[in-house]
Amino acid sequence: MSLSIFALGGINEIGKNMYVVQYEDDIFVIDCGGKFPDESLLGIDLIIPEMTCLEENREKIRGLIVTHGHEDHIGGVPYFFKKLKAPVYATNFTLGLIELKLSEHKLLRGTELNKINSDSQLDFGKVKVSFFKVSHSIPDCLGIVFHTPEGNVVHTGDFKFDLTPANDEQSEIHKMAKIGTEGVMVLLSESTNAERTGLTPSERMVASHLEEAFMKAEGKIFVSTFASNVNRVQQVVEAAIKTDRKLALLGRSMVNVVDVAIERGYLNVPEGMLIEPHVVDQLDPDKVAILCTGSQGEPMAALSRLSSGNYRDVSIYPGDTVIMAASPIPGNEKDVSKIIDNLFKLGAKVIYGSGSTTGMHVSGHGYQEDLKLMLTLMKPKYFIPIHGEYRMLHHHRLLAESVGVEKGNTFIVRNGDIVDIENGEARQTRNVPAGDTYVDGVSVGDVGEIVLRDRKQLSEDGMLVIVLTLSKAERKIISGPDTISRGFVFVKNSEDLMRDVNKLVTKTVTELQEDNVHRWNVIKQGIKKAVGQHIFQQTRRKPMILPIIIEI
């Protein structure tokens, strides 16, 4: 097949975006994101795309092209480079964030980083790549055009059409229209807000609401937002200047991103305005503002620790104002609500809720009218909605058909499904392996379904360790069994149950030996089965049972 397009992450999910465009022997990877686990994935720190098919075709990879610097697009980059080599192409600000990640993983020295902008043109022989600027909630965002002999493939990146963006980085609508006029064979467009009617509100709207809240506040002001939303950070800086407040930064990602943004010219902070957290309590409360991470309820982030009174240098006192300048990502609502409850208990005034009710947040993702405008400008023959859960992709398909994309020409795919284009015709008949790779501490990919199942069982029903010592010569029990319970029952309150378990183990081992069964693994299986059935009958629980046999 000449031209193939598929996703390794980002479809039927929010997060871990990774898309691949392949023309003959040239493979181009778009983004390499991560996503955070839900509470069912016990102990997992990060989820990244499975990259088996890229590892099998490593010599064909021509580059990793990054649309922008959000975690769901760059979170997996260090893990990509632990397995693969390829030049990176990204804008100035995005490169700064990628460099931070690669430095942390000690991978910076061996990686080729190439700075691009919306006017860059890359020539890979049969495939040429150009770019266009889009507005989003982080600086320096790009859409990508792959010019192939089979036709142009456009990836929009994350976007909205903001005609008055806070950083004056307008979407290059004229360039998009020109791309559409030249002809687009396939459009890949993000679907995050495909269910929301209308146009996305402008980022400028937030500035006046923030300013008003700063004017009214009497104590300290805490603003929690995404560290990467540099436009929002700039608006907080402006509001602090107007109300004569110093600014402290809490949270490692906030400090890192602000450093990169100031260093690369994306954030203007007056000299002497930033203060260290330990200075906060030395100043009058109405002279301080604090920018912190944790708007999504992350348990170890600054806002969560502040809400429980566990932040070392700074405390929230009655009368302080807390502004949640971000909406909860679906799935995080419960954690965010818990933090808001705790903030109210501390006596804080809390401004929270969706952007439309408080004016403190607007989405960086286009609503239906934005998505329709992109489709109208690009006029694609084929359309692949990406970056969203199934219902979002479904709504995006309906929007595409409403503005002229032919019915049957939209492909709602799964991660790994390949759309092949040959002689101007697209079809989806094959796929590649695609799934989740779990990052747990420093380990990548060695925690799978079996380990997670064990963790789930341990977390729900605990474990029983049964230790017994056998004589090698006489093949009799000479010590034990001793039963140790962890997370199952409190032994002192369940002595009868433990006594019954020990009797049952002794009986099971004796019967097996009388039947001339002396293999350890068979004896262990017999103990597990007998004890497991007895405990379930008595308690309706299924703890993990670990028999340990010592032979002397």
**Residue 364 marked ligand-binding:** yes
Helix axes 230-242, 252-263, angle to 10 degrees: 90
Cα three-residue angle 80-84-90, rounded to 5 degrees: 60
Question: What b/e readout covers 454-476, taking b as 16+ CB neighbours within 10 angstroms?
Answer: ebeebeebbbbebbbbbeeeeee
Whether the Cβ atoms of residue 383 and residue 411 lie closer than 8 Å to each other: yes
Quote the CA–CA distance of 55 and 63 in Å, as a whole number. 14
**Residue 155 marked ligand-binding:** no
> Of 238, 300, 296, 293, which is closest to residue 270 (Cα–Cα)?
238
Residue with tokens 């405390």: 315
Q: What are phi and psi of 223, to 5 degrees?
A: -120, 120
> Of 482, 328, 368, 432, which is closest to residue 14 (Cα–Cα)?
328
Quote the CA–CA distance of 497 and 515 in Å, as a whole number. 27
Query: What is the DSSP code string of 11-77?
Result: BSBSS--EEEEEETTEEEEE----B---TTSTT--EEEE--HHHHHTGGGEEEEE-----HHHHTTH
**Residue 362 marked ligand-binding:** yes
Burial class, 441, CB count within 10 angstroms (exposed 0-12 / middle 13-18 / buried 19+): exposed
What is the DSSP secondary structure assignment for residue 328, as one 8-state letter?
Answer: P
Three-state SS at 200: coil
> Of 262, 279, 261, which is closest to residue 270 (Cα–Cα)?
262
**Residue 361 marked ligand-binding:** yes
**Residue 180 marked ligand-binding:** no
Tell me how crowded residue 215 is: count the other CB atoms within 10 A of its CB: 10
**Distant-in-sequence contacts of 455-461, Cβ < 8 A, 24+ apart:** 455/42, 455/43, 456/40, 456/42, 457/542, 457/543, 457/544, 458/487, 458/544, 459/42, 459/487, 461/487, 461/488, 461/541, 461/542, 461/543, 461/544
481 cis-preceded (ω within 30 degrees of 0): yes
**Binding positions:** 361-365
**Binding positions for substrate:** 361-365
